[in-house]
Structure 1
Amino acid sequence: MATLGTLLKNKRAGETHLAWHHPNLSGPDALDLRSADFRHGEPMPAVHAGRRGGGRNLSPALTWTGTPQESAQLLLVVEDADAPTSRPFVHCLALISPERQELLPGALGADTSAEGVHVLRSGMGRGYLGPQPLKGHGEHRYAFQLFALRTAITSVPRRPNLEAARLRDVLDAVGGPALARGRLDGIYAR
């Protein structure tokens, strides 16, 4: 696998395709998103990586401040901007009650989601999928993006089941722009 990673070293999805740049999610960077497990731009501990990436697939602890009072829902999108694909790989997609201000480790699992957290489809399955970059591909940036929404997402066009919705369907259902947003990037390589 290291050979494949080396061959694809220059192939990256890129920053411009992240949810952060979707027109429906523009808004003030007023949410302060943090983790007790890593700081912005620093490596993520291996425990948060996927099993093939040497970890336990445990979603990190997240806390935030600055949620506007009029928020109807929070949208969390975790994407790998450095995946060797045409678009960033989705590692987690979740709708969160605006009353919440933190998520404990593991709160984004498909079977272990916390109260007030509705985990949706990731790139493979449902719930948090930890980093598993190709060996030899170099560092990958995992963008944890949190958006305060004006209206709650309860359904999406073209998908009868919200849990089966793809990221683009969810983003298109946002009645943007976002009231506020925040971002935390973690780094992982193998």
Structure 2
Amino acid sequence: MAFTLTSTAFVNGATLPPAQVYSGMGQTGGNLSPPLRWDGAPAGTRSFVVTLYDPDAPTGSGWWHWVVINIPADVASLPEGAGSGKAGLPDGALQIRTDFGVAGYGGAAPPPGRVHRYIFTVTALDVPKLEVPADASPALIGFMLNHHRLSSAQLTALYGTSR
């Protein structure tokens, strides 16, 4: 069985719904993390990490919108709003600081112009938790993921404004 990531809020390649768009920086969205579900995790999975990354942000290094680590291996979904304080995260899960400077979900907020890709990724790890400080950077999490990754599944949404 393939490792897959899906959402009931949008399908792969579709436009990110207004509920998942940032509220601020010129955007008027709901800033709710979408419901996510993953299936087919590889044998040996001991925990998961969920991230949201915009590789098209004009920073030279993209933009991290959401990072959740230490999701227990027996969890296969996150409800809408789990990253926004509207629904709970699984016991033991920890949200890490994003490029907005705080922990938690930050929705799409591209500058006017081209459409950006928002890549949701769930990564299966071979460790029960990542031993990192609570104020770890997304770069540190990425480094740790590369050392403990068993497999990843992705779901990409698109969003852009022309104002």
TM-score (norm: length of structure 2): 0.87
In the TM superposition, what is the alpha-carbon distance from 1:175 to its structure 2 partner? 6.4
Aligned to 2:11: 39
| Among 83, 87, 103, the residue aligned to 2:78 | 103
In the TM superposition, what is the alpha-carbon distance from 1:113 to its structure 2 partner? 3.8
In the TM superposition, what is the alpha-carbon distance from 1:187 to its structure 2 partner? 0.6
Partner SS for 2:141: helix
In the TM superposition, what is the alpha-carbon distance from 1:110 to its structure 2 partner? 5.4
Q: Does 1:91 align with 2:65?
A: yes
Aligned to 2:120: 144
Larger helix fraction of residues:
1
Contiguous gaps of at least 5 residues in structure 2: none
Contiguous gaps of at least 5 residues in structure 1: 1-28, 157-161
Aligned to 1:57: 31
C-alpha contact 2:72 2:128 (8 A) present in aligned 1:
no
Q: Which runs of 4+ in 1 moved over 6 A?
A: none
| Among 120, 131, 134, the residue aligned to 1:155 | 131
Structure number with bigger Rg: 1
Q: Could you say what the CA RMSD is over the residues aligned between the two structures, in angstroms? A: 1.9
Partner SS for 1:176: helix
Partner SS for 2:67: strand
TM-score (norm: length of structure 1): 0.75
Q: Does 1:134 align with 2:105?
A: no
Aligned to 1:170: 141
In the TM superposition, what is the alpha-carbon distance from 1:102 to its structure 2 partner? 1.0
Distance in 1, Cα, partners of 2:121 & 2:145: 15
